A and B are shown apart, each in its own frame.
Chain A
Amino acid sequence: MLRSNAEEIPGALPSGSSYESVNKTRHSKDSQPVDTITQTYWTERMIAIRDHRDKEAFGEVFNHFAPRVKAFLMKGGAEPSMAEECTQEAMITLWNKAALFDPSRASVSTWVFTIARNKKIDILRRRNRPEPEELPWGPEPEPQPGDVIELQQETDRLAAAIADLPEKQREIITRAFYGDLTHQELSDQTGLPLGTIKSRIRLALERLRHSLS
């Protein structure tokens, strides 16, 4: 299911000098799908935010993701001004909660999605959405680089597989995320290609638990 969406790359890349660094990465890792290289780039920028409080990296992440989050929120029914405010709050939360970013468990786009989703709900309810307890961090929480790459590749395969779903099924999934379906309208989805990404997430959770014992 590997598929390189080469035509999407220009829009996915940041401007200026960062483009060159992505290009460099691309040449050095020819065997990987282009999307994965883009994902790797965003993961590196997010880690720079997390570990070095890198404001330039934050600017790049903002310029790429904020307009997409705003679009997502507007498709979900938010007025432009509310979508704008919510997106800004989400990006500040991304900075403040960067320590929780684990690239072996979620891609940057997944991480951004969960923050934006929660921020929207927090604003609507005026209190925090009930979230599962964070897994405790042990003395050695850092994932292996190979685990990070694997997760990114699985995320790409998932995106390609979702794109390849029969149109009706894809529409149901997408509308579910925009809140256009009630859960009565949702049927249990079968045949969604989630098995392999679940294996990656399972490994990441096991690593967190084992680092404690």
Chain B
Amino acid sequence: MTAKHTLPEKLMLSYAAGTLPEAFDLVIASHLSLCDESRIGVEAYEAIGGTIIEKEIPVSMSPGALDRCFGRLDGQAPRPKSGDAVNAVFPKPLRDMIGGDIDTVNWRSIGRGVKQAIIETEGRATVRLLSIPGGVEMPEHGHQGMEVTLVLQGAFKDGQDRFARGDIEVATDDMDHQPVAEDGDVCICLAATENPLRFNSFVPKLLQPLFRI
């Protein structure tokens, strides 16, 4: 399983380092569940983390720390579960976060057939699910920060590029992009933004605080 559009290196590094807001962690963990190439990249950066740990100058643990740990060790090591929810639309990290698959989403209409559901997360970023009917454009917008979008169903086109299930698109604040859902299946995306988006046209700007797009 490898997506056509994989995670950029600097997000591999940031995710491996564990320094991203939760909204981005959720989108990236979901992408990694669908894309081995990005997963390999993240694990390579984690190996750098391992070399940093290995080279640290040790700081003493408090007296008796090991004994306290010994007192809490259980005998059994649970084997990892495998093969759950094979036919789910949502990858496991997303299902864990919202407590179920696509049928549990509480959608809210934001016009022109587009629906969204905000997922509550910690930190200075927002993550939402979007449902966009085939042929419909996402509202035109620029960014105040980075936006990372993962396709979970259907596909969208942005200029020359096509993004389908598992693909990730990273947009930065210096680009205005215009994703359009492909005809066919409703396009379902998971998108994290660093800051609330600013809209280029007048009406959506008014709606922005209301809908937290």
A162 close to chain B: CB less than 8 A = yes
| Alpha-carbon gap, A201 to B25, bound state (A) | 21
Size range of the interface on A? 35 or more
| Contact status A109-B54, CB under 8 Å | yes
| Contact status B69-A62, CB under 8 Å | yes
| Alpha-carbon gap, A91 to B62, bound state (A) | 14
| Contact status A109-B122, CB under 8 Å | no
B48 close to chain A: CB less than 8 A = yes
| Contact status A125-B22, CB under 8 Å | yes
The residue from B33, B56, B61, B92 contacting A84, defined by CB atoms under 8 A apart: B61
Minimum Cβ distance to chain B for residue A91 (Å): 5
Query: Closest residue to A65 on the B side, CB-wise?
Result: B53
A176 close to chain B: CB less than 8 A = yes
| Contact status B59-A74, CB under 8 Å | yes
| Contact status B29-A67, CB under 8 Å | no
| Alpha-carbon gap, A110 to B30, bound state (A) | 21
Residues of B within 8 A of A149 (CB): none
| Contact status B20-A183, CB under 8 Å | yes
| Contact status B13-A130, CB under 8 Å | no
User: What string of 1s and 0s marks CB contacts (under 8 Å) between B1-44 and chain A?
Assistant: 00000001111011001111010011011101100100111111
- Given A136-B83, A179-B19, are A88 and B69 also a contact pair (CB < 8 Å)? yes
User: What string of 1s and 0s marks CB contacts (under 8 Å) between A142-167 and chain B?
Assistant: 00000000000011001100100000
Question: Which of B71-79, B105-113, B151-159 lies at the interface with chain A?
Answer: B71-79
